[in-house]
Structure 1
Amino acid sequence: MDRFIEQLPKVELHLHIEGTLEPELMFKLAKRNNVSIPFDSPEQIRQAYQFENLQSFLDIYYQGAEVLIEEQDFYDLTWEYLLRCQQDNVIHTEIFFDPQTHTDRGIAFETVINGITSALKQGEKELGISSQLILCFLRHLEESAALETLEQALPYKDKIIAVGLDSSEQGHPPEKFARVFEKALDEGFLTVAHAGEEGPAQNIRDALELLQVSRIDHGVRCSEDPLLVERLIQEQTPLTVCPLSNIKLRVFDTMADHNIAELLRRGLAVTINSDDPAYFGGYMTDNFQAVHQALSLTKQELAQLSVNAVNASFISPQAKEDMVSKIWHYQDNY
């Protein structure tokens, strides 16, 4: 089954590009940009990736981002991720980026987005990997900061498909950003939001109703609200689940405790994603394998997870049809 998973065509919908900063690249960029980091080697950085909760991860995540300064840095970061996509047979990816993490340090919005999108264009041309870009607002910052970031994004509307909401869920409910999302929708952006990871199931409801999101990032705590689960099934609202991340951040104690298989078998549109793979120890194939090993998914169920991701993506109907056919053909003929 490992071989089947490795070659299965995959689509990733929940990936923070800053979260793909591997220790080796962090160390390289720190030296290149003369940025001081409290580590003497990539190995020492990796040893620090032990987290008690979301905030303990975010602390080192934001510290690592300090090494990203020049356009070339953002290009290098994105290109390394795309090479990993090629290795994992990810055929389409929809990438989050956090401009506030960089603009608050004095890095120009233009520097960030140009570096990322130049790599994405090259990835489509040379690797055959299609992609979309999603701007995320940091929910621990003020609404006014998100509104300012949205204004900065408007000249780049042709490069950004949607806006999202990430960072600390506790204490920062969806309603805090209702006006920002309303303006984003008026500007023609699609919307997504992190909800129901460390926050309650109510955050999922509020994201759907107040932010009008097309899909929920994480969403695993929907299980606490049976009526919400029924709604998610009926409306086929996609959940972009990140299994290894959920274990690393103690959302579930072990993968055997994870509810993704139960949700899939109940008919929810769940998908598998890697979230911040450099920090959580696994890219797409690793996540698929971990779920299969712990929860004994069948080939058809594994393929269904990929099909769910295609259907939840922001690509054209024709591209969706082509990708779905490719996945089922692979499953039928393996």
Structure 2
Amino acid sequence: LEIVRGKANRARINRAQVRPREILGIVRTVVFAPEDLSLVRGDPSVRRSFLDDLATQLSPIHASVRSDFDRVARQRAALMKAAQASLRRGQAPDLSTLEVWDQQFAALSARITATRASIASRLEEPASRSYDDVADSPRHLRLAFDASVDRVIGTDPGNPASADLTDVDAQTQRMLAALGSVREKETERGVNLVGAHRDDLTLSLGAMPVKGYASHGESWSVALALRLGAFELLSDDGDTPILILDDVFAELDSSRRAGLAALASKAEQIIVTCAVADDLPASLDHHALHVRLDPRRGTVIDGHDRE
């Protein structure tokens, strides 16, 4: 994969030129970095991206479905925005094409939600187990998928299919019903109020939500557990992924460092970066490359110049 500033990205597979999107899923990786604290404390979009990235590694077709949904969502939102403008001028909005967009939007939204719900369900056990391994806590990590359609119309106790988020056909019909229930609000506000773009992943420790209640150390452990759970899920599905730990040991206390080192040793390939060598646990067997910046020579890696 070639990334050149100011130019389009280029990709090759076995020397053959391909579109960059075609490399998705070929080299599976799991990256844990300081920015991953946003998985716990950040907006729902961060957790949606986490599920989507994992789903794409398991099934690259998910990226295409997500791209199609984003396109349709933008078109439908533009229609809602135009309807809002008409209402403000005292005119009746033109919604003659809305049914067509609703059908596409509902079908694509249901497929994305089904995939995310399935991933969240499969991820819960390995993530919870990883949390127990790295955190000295009596509380257990729980994951629950929070679909926006459930928040809008709820589930029908008399219809078991309504509660099964992985049933694409049933969820497409529920999404259409949800769109009908919020149509007036959508035209007033000019936005899409329900859909896969408003899904979330709920994280809790015991009976308490992680966001807003977990300590700093617990939040780090949850973020780490999600990545390690993803690593185990990908390993069970096929080849063991490459594990990349980007300057994270400095953020962890000694017990969490040791726990991460023990779990990382299960990986076949690991790449670890750190600014301070002492941050690496002694139990982590590794080959070190020392990188420094020389004012005259530029970047130097173990005595060798690098541009």
TM over 0.5: no
By relative contact order (CA 8 Å, sep 6+), the higher-ranking structure is 2
Which one has a bigger Cα radius of gyration?
Answer: 2
Give the TM-score of the pair, scaled to structure 1: 0.28
Give the TM-score of the pair, scaled to structure 2: 0.30
More helix by share: 1
